[in-house]
Amino acid sequence: MEIKLLKPGYKNNEQFYRDFLEDKIISNDDYFSNEIVTIANAPDFPIYIAEGTGEEKKQSFRQAFQVMASFYINTDRDLHLDELFWHSLLVTKKREYILENYPDVTTSFGDFKNIVVKSFDWQNYIYKCVLAVEYIEDYFNNAEEKDRYYNLVLENLDLYNYIIKYSIFRNAEFLIKILTIIDELDISGIMKAKIKDRPDLGTDERYGRRVIFELNKNYPVIMSPLLDIDSLKQEVIQALSYYYDVSEIRKNMLQLEHS
Partner 1 sequence: MNHSATKTCSWKFSEISQIEELNFNKILERFYSLGVAGLTKENIQNSLDGRLINSSEPVIVKIEIGTIQRDEIPGVNDVIDRIKCLEGRNSYTKETVNHMLKRIDQEEVRYISFEDINTRGLTGAVNGQSNSKKDTWGIYAYSKGIHFEESDETIEKVRGGSHGVGKISSNAASDLHAMYFANCDEYGNQHLGGTVQLIEHLYNDQCYRSTGYFTDEKIENGKPKFIPYENKFHSVFEKKTRGLKIIIPYLRKEFDNEDEIIKTVCDSYFLSILEGKLEVHVNDQIIKADTIEKFVCDSDYYTQETSEIKKVFTPLYVNTYKNETPKDIVVSNGEEDFHFKLYFKYDEEIKKGRVAIVRTIGMKIEDFSVHLNATKPYNAVLIGELKEDHYLKTLENESHTKISSDHIRDPKLKSQAKRFINNLSKVIASIIDEEMKKNNPTDDVMDTKDLIYIMESQFKQDLSKAYGAVKISKGKHVVKATEVTKKVKQKGTKKGSVKSTNSGIKRIRKTTVGSGNELQDKNSETFSVSPNLVERLIIQDSEIILLNFKNNSELKNSNSCNISFNVIDGMGTEYHNEFNLKDNYVAIIDQNKGSSCKFDNHTIKNVSIKDGIVKLKLELKPIYNRALKFIYYVEV
Partner 2 sequence: MIYKKDANFPYPILTNTSTSYKNSSFLLDVRLEENTNDYRLVIDYEISSSFINDLIKSGDAVLVFIIQSKDTRFFMLESDQLTVEIPKNRISLNKRTSIQLHIQSTKEINFSKNKDLTAFYNTFKDEILVSRNSLLGFSNIVVFEGSIQNPFVLFEKKLDENLSSDIKVELGSETIIIHYRKADYQFNGVGSSKAFNNPYIYTGLRTALQRFINEYGKGEDYVDLSQIPQPENLLDFKLYQLMTKKMIEEVSIDTIDEVISLISDKIIEKYASAVKELINNGN
Decide: helix, strand or coil at residue 189.
helix
With respect to partner 1, which residue has the nearer C-beta, 140 or 219?
219
Site for partner 2 in 200-239 (CB under 8 A): 219-223, 225-227, 231
Query: Which residues are within 8 A (CB) of 172 and not within 5 positions of it... i.e. 6 or more apart?
Result: 134, 135, 138, 139
Backbone angles phi and psi of 56, in degrees to 5? -60, -40
* Binding segment (CB under 8 A) for partner 2, from list 153-161, 165-173, 185-193, 194-202: 165-173
131 touching partner 2, by CB under 8 A? yes
76 touching partner 2, by CB under 8 A? yes
136, interface contact from partner 2, partner 1, none, CB < 5-8 Å by kind: none
Quote the least distance from Cβ 224 to partner 2, whole Å.
9
Distance from C-alpha of 190 to C-alpha of 116, rounded to nearest angstrom = 34
With respect to partner 1, which residue has the nearer C-beta, 139 or 213?
213
Residues that bind partner 1 (CB under 8 A): 78, 166-168, 213-222, 242
Cα torsion at 254, 255, 257, 259 (round to 10°)? 160
Among residues 32, 8, 28, the alpha carbon closest in space to that of 18 is found at 28
176, interface contact from partner 1, partner 2, none, CB < 5-8 Å by kind: none
Half-sphere exposure at residue 90, Cβ-oriented, CA atoms within 13 angstroms: 30
With respect to partner 2, which residue has the nearer C-beta, 70 or 188?
70
DSSP string, 25-48: STT-GGGEEEEEEE-S--------
- Are residues 36 and 88 in contact, defined by beta-carbon separation less than 8 angstroms? no
138 touching partner 2, by CB under 8 A? yes
* Binding segment (CB under 8 A) for partner 2, from list 49-57, 78-86, 87-95, 188-196: 78-86
Q: Mark 28-67 with x for binding to partner 2 (rule: CB under 8 A) and - for no binding.
A: ----------------------------------------
With respect to partner 2, which residue has the nearer C-beta, 77 or 251?
77
In the list 24, 77, 194, 198, the residue contacting partner 2 (rule: CB under 8 A) is 77
Number of residues interacting with partner 2: please give it, by CB under 8 A. 28
166 touching partner 2, by CB under 8 A? yes
Decide: helix, strand or coil at residue 17.
helix
Beta pairing partners, 37: 3
- Are residues 177 and 165 in contact, defined by beta-carbon separation less than 8 angstroms? no
- Classify residue 192 by its DSSP letter: H
Q: Please report, as a single letter, which amino acid is at residue 4.
A: K
226, interface contact from partner 1, partner 2, none, CB < 5-8 Å by kind: partner 2
Return residues touching partner 2 (CB under 8 A): 8, 74-78, 81-82, 131, 138, 164, 166-173, 219-223, 225-227, 231
